[in-house]
Amino acid sequence: MKEAGVINRKTESDLNRKQNEDVYRLDLDPIRGSSQSHGLIHDLDRLPSIDSQASFNEFCREVCRLWRKHYPEGQRAVLPEFQRLAQQIVAGAIDNQVIQTSWGGVVVTRHQHPDVEKFLIVRQGKFLALEKHAEKDETLEVKEGGGILLLRDGCEHTLAVHELQPGDTFHFKPHVEHCVIGTEDLLLFERSTDPLGMDQDLLFIYTPEEG
């Protein structure tokens, strides 16, 4: 997501680092019911909790490494829509239509305030921030590819780990913390109601590091 207009990014991150150090442990129950690889689940269960910017980035990179270890050939190779939209990203940014990011990019298909519809193109091995929204309400649908979703409601004490497969749908109310990891090339379609304006209320907890 583009970072312009982010509200209290530094403050939000600092507060979480100080107050939630023990919160970001994993709940693997969701992925136990969907993954075909018991070895992957075993390895994920051995990963340390997330308690800093550095540990967040290391965790996401390790999830991608473990995925390649257990699925060396990948799971879903046919990605025609991903490839078409990825070419649009490479062709260059267009204000409020095509957005280039470190993890891939965004193609906006409808923006009639406050409603937004857009594709998220997440490259294999890349990941988005662990983030939440002040007022935005969004639904994500997996179109192509595969990945991992981390999800935490404000009343929970752990990050639930979900495997992303085509056809899966997730609904995020405001303040629900979430992170998408592209263990394979991944295409998502997002429908949202964004009262403050598109991406104007992003609250980043931890962010991807370049490189």
- Enumerate the domain spans of the chain: 9-206
Distance separating alpha carbons of residues 65 and 150, to the nearest angstrom: 16
Percent of residues in the chain assigned helix, strand, coil, to nearest 5: 25, 35, 40
Flag the least confident range among 12-16, 104-108, 183-187, 197-201. Answer: 12-16
Tell me what the pLDDT averaged over the chain comes to. Answer: 88
What sign has the CA pseudo-torsion 128, 129, 135, 139? Answer: positive
Q: With helix as H, strand as E and coil as C, how does 27-89 read?
A: ECHHHHCCCCCHHHHHHHCCCCCECCHHHHHHHHHHHHHHHHHHCCCCCCCCCHHHHHHHHHH
Query: Model confidence at 55, in pLDDT bands (50, 70, 90)?
Result: very high
**Could you read off the pLDDT of 131-151 as tens digits, one per residue?**
999 999 999 999 999 999 999
Residue 211 has what pLDDT?
Answer: 60
Mean pLDDT within 48-56: 94
What's the pLDDT at 128?
98
Angle at 16 between CA 44 and CA 58, to 5 degrees: 35
Return d(Cα 54, Cα 179) in angstroms, integer. 15
For tokens 């405001």, the residue is: 174
- CATH class in words for 9-206: mainly beta
pLDDT in the model for residue 117: 98
- pTM (whole model) above 0.85: yes
